[in-house]
């Protein structure tokens, strides 16, 4: 089937009262324009409302992306920073609204940065800047931003991101460690200015936790390696998974 038709069907379903995750004209039009095929491995399921895994990160489902974009409330004249760019899909939709030159994206995992750049170029948005940075530090080079989208959970809004907001800007992020709430926070960061329901995102990574890097916590790594070697040296009667009482 024609991808344009599939995109229209996808957005129609997101606008329908059964899901009701897309309501603004900006987001609706943009999601109808941006192809999803470059951002997923399974092109045949690109417009299914489901998430995918790619290079150790989650490619958001259309519903999840729609919720983030509606909460972000982007206007055509905004400058936007996406923290946790992943494969680049949400950055592409934002670029469709505000223009490529007004979107900056960062990710702590270098492999994802390269992937996002390639995906965005394939989708028709090569002008989106994607850089490898620690998300908690943001991208001060191009601040201030009218909107910052953090696509990872944190217990508190990172202060560096709040410092990079314009006076009337806001940060949208999943707030919490266990239970998470999608919230908007202004530059003061004291209390959320808006809440958009519960979500479940992976926690924001810090340097050394990327899937494609060497683990930096030597003690944790060595403890795990010692445990693995001990398990391999055990005799059959020492293995904890054998219930010898049942064998007799």
The catalytic residues are: 61
**Residue entry with tokens 């924001």:** 204
Question: What is the Cα–Cα distance from 179 to 173, expressed in whole angstroms?
Answer: 13
- The residues facing 154 across adjacent strands are 175
Asked if 16 contacts 28 with a C-beta cutoff of 8 angstroms, the reply is no
Look at residues 13, 45, 58, 19 and name the one whose alpha carbon lies nearest to residue 31: 13
**Which stretches within the chain are classed as H helix?**
3-15, 25-33, 62-72, 89-98, 110-123, 159-163, 218-233, 244-247
């Amino acid at each position: 089937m024609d991808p344009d038709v599939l995109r229209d069907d996808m957005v129609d379903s997101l606008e329908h009262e059964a899901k009701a995750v897309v309501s603004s004209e900006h987001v609706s039009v943009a999601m109808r324009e941006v192809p999803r095929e470059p951002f997923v491995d399974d092109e045949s399921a690109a417009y299914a409302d489901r998430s995918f895994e790619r290079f150790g990160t989650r490619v958001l489902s259309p519903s999840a992306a729609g919720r983030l974009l509606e909460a972000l409330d982007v206007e055509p004249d905004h400058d936007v920073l996406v923290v946790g760019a992943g494969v680049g899909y949400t950055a592409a939709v934002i670029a469709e609204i505000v223009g490529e030159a007004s979107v900056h994206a960062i990710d702590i995992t270098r492999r994802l940065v390269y992937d996002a750049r390639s995906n965005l170029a394939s989708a028709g948005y090569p002008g989106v800047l994607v850089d490898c940075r620690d998300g908690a530090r943001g991208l001060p080079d191009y601040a201030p931003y009218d909107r910052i989208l953090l696509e990872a959970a944190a217990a508190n809004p990172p202060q560096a991101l709040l410092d990079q907001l314009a006076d009337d800007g806001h940060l949208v992020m999943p707030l919490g460690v266990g239970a998470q709430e999608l919230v908007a926070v202004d530059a003061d960061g004291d209390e959320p200015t808006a809440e958009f329901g519960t979500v479940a995102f992976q926690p924001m990574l810090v340097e050394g936790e990327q899937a494609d890097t060497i683990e930096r916590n030597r003690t944790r790594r060595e403890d795990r390696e010692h445990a693995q070697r001990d398990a391999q040296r055990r005799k059959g009667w020492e293995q904890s998974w054998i219930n010898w009482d049942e064998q007799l």
